[in-house]
Structure 1
């Protein structure tokens, strides 16, 4: 059977038949059918997301299937732990601070579809776009200041809810309490070395950043909490400018809360810098660092420490991800290899300014 998920009609028809056969067996209901199966436009390179409707006993259920990436496709990340994602989503659902889709099943066997996958309920709403980034146009640009303020306040409050959620046992096994920052820095360096060994190139600006992260790691960090690992509004679905679901928990870990807050701030600032470099106004008054930090402190009651360090960590870590994505694009012939390896990093100018202590975060 062809297990390559593409948008061609034949492949999707084959996939729909395979999903229907698996679902009928899993639910012990041969009358179940699968309709309207399509690949999500938001599918990234860390996984493949497929939308479908399960029909049985006169009821229709809209669901989402996320397949682990093919190892031969130069996946962005080395591993893809479906059970870990399901455990984190379950913990968030149980705590009730953060809206998340219900995970229905995790299938470890590659037999049904060619690789492991999980199935969850489909949530309503839409996420701000990443390609092109939402700062270039769309609902947030067209929104009123009051509507954008509603998004900002609700999103920061959601992040506070993540950090207030008791972590599942699947994360507690990562290491002893208080070791989250050291583990995060070590994992970032290990991830970089894996990308180099698995078809990538050495990128001097990233190695400069990794040296600074090792040399300047704070001796004392905030207590570890459940962190998202990819905290940004592009991973939140909204309806009428209010969050309906938080998605993508592959990077969840026990770490200081500053990392999520820094990632949240960094990601928007990176997009804003990108817009300005193209002569676009972007959204300069939206998700400003000082505003986000002030609201997070007020909502959580936490004191945030060493934010310049965590912003640097976010910029370096995202740089490794971008370098991996670029190496993947070069490998498959989509783009030529840059003459300067630093240009594997999409935000290399921003990162250089950060590493040279020239970047103004206004915090």
Structure 2
């Protein structure tokens, strides 16, 4: 987890030239695009480009998100960039969440070879994935009080989104509502990503979900989907930009809560496995749920189920990521397909720790 994973096969200078032509079609002949770069930190799915756009004497620091090229062996089967663009707009304008200001959406693949959208670039610090923030760095070295401030503010993002009322038309781009629809979509994703070589551990986890299904999943809300601190930019431990909305869906609140809790556990387990202490007092389930309850009045429930589901969902994604590495010759394929799941031991621990269904 300490080296940058390949996310693109596109040439940056060629993209810059084509983006300049596209921008001039939007703002006039004064439009220009600076040299492009790619981030060195988080993000493994759609392609991200940094550049500065200038026109009419002004300059705007921008980020473009592009659907990956087929030869890049995408993490996901489809990239609905229009839905992501709309999600950022709704989060910012209706829920008051500091999502980046959405500038342009381009559905035509002709200009850059794929649909894309452009948003303003924010400035701040992001808890890194590579190496994980639990290994060291600004968040690891912060005071307990500052880490708690960041934790509570991050939970507040979920509370603000979940407490906002959206119209059926606004929710339509984010798929069929409900927990059952969400799980079936994940099952379809698993089959797409790993159908040629099933992963027994993940199939056991799917079976576990069916035997532990919640009696009442509760009302549906608009969920962020990839709700984790690695998708937030902070200044003074306060969120200033909430990123990566491509997994947004309509379902129970606990989808986001459990994802936020589990993704910290994922990094914490990696850290303790390396013999380091990490951040054991950070993002604990009881603390996250207490803050969420105080902010919303909603008592999170069935968290054992949702933690298993978060671990399963992350397992499907990570196994796909490692298969990409194998495809590009960055690592050999394992003899045991369960080893494609980086947090195999965590899922095995969860399966062993819960009582079997009666």
Instruction: Name structure 2 gaps, 5 residues minimum.
Output: 1-6
Q: Does 1:12 align with 2:8?
A: no
Map of 1:1-363 to 2, 5 A cutoff?
11-27=11-27, 29-42=28-41, 44-167=43-166, 169-172=169-172, 179-197=177-195, 201-357=197-353
SS in 2 for 1:356: helix
User: C-alpha separation between the residues in 1 aligned to 2:291 and 2:43?
Assistant: 30
TM-superposed CA distance for 1:13, in Å, is: 2.3
Number of residues of Structure 1 aligned to a counterpart in Structure 2: 348
What's the CA shift string for 1:266-304, capped at 9, x where partnerless?
010111111111111101111111111111111111111
Is the Cα–Cα contact under 8 Å of residues 83 and 174 in structure 2 kept in the other structure?
Answer: no
* CA distance in structure 2 between the partners assigned to 1:74 and 1:14 by the alignment: 21
Bigger shift: 71-80 or 230-239? 71-80
Contact 1:24 1:31 in 2 (8 A): yes
Cα deviation for residue 67 of structure 1 reads 0.6
Contact (CA 8 Å) 1:97, 1:158: kept in 2 or not? Answer: no
Question: How big is the shift at 1:55?
Answer: 1.4
The residue matched to 2:74 in structure 1 has which SS? Answer: coil
Q: State the 1:167 CA deviation.
A: 3.6
CA 1:330–1:250 in structure 2 vs 1: closer, same or farther (change >3 Å)?
Answer: same
SS in 2 for 1:351: helix
Whether the 8 Å contact between 1:35 and 1:53 is mirrored in structure 2 is yes
Counterpart CA distance in 2 for 1:256 and 1:167 is 15
Q: Does the 8 A contact of 2:100 with 2:241 survive in 1?
A: yes
How far did 1:194 drift? 0.7
Q: For the residues of structure 1 that align with 2:212 and 2:269, how far apart are their CA atoms?
A: 26
CA distance in 2, matches of 1:115, 1:172: 23
**Is this contact kept in 2: 1:265–1:287, CA < 8 A?**
yes
- Structure 1: distance between partners of 2:170 and 2:39: 28
Per-residue deviation, 1:43: 5.9
Over residues 119-164 of structure 1, what are the superposed CA-to-partner deviations in whole Å (9 max), with x where a residue is unaligned?
1111121211011110001101111112111111111111111212
Give distance in 2, aligned partners of 1:261 and 1:268: 11
Shifted more, 77-86 versus 51-60: the winner is: 51-60
Q: Render the CA deviation track for 1:89-120: whole Å, top value 9, x for unaligned.
A: 11111124311111111111111111111111
TM-score (norm 2): 0.93
CA RMSD of aligned residues (A): 1.8
Distance 1:334 1:173 in 2: 36
Classify the secondary structure of the residue corresponding to 2:117: strand
Change (3 A) 1:45 1:173: closer
Structure 1 gap segments, 5+ residues each: none
Query: SS state of the match for residue 104, structure 2?
Result: strand
Is the CA contact 1:228–1:253 (under 8 Å) kept in the aligned structure 2? Answer: yes
- 2:64 match: secondary structure: strand
Q: Distance in 2 between matches of 1:51 and 1:224?
A: 35
Local SS of the residue matching 1:187: helix
Following TM superposition, by how much is the alpha carbon of 1:171 offset from its aligned partner in structure 2, in angstroms? 2.9
- Cα distance in 2 for partners of 1:182, 1:301 equals 25
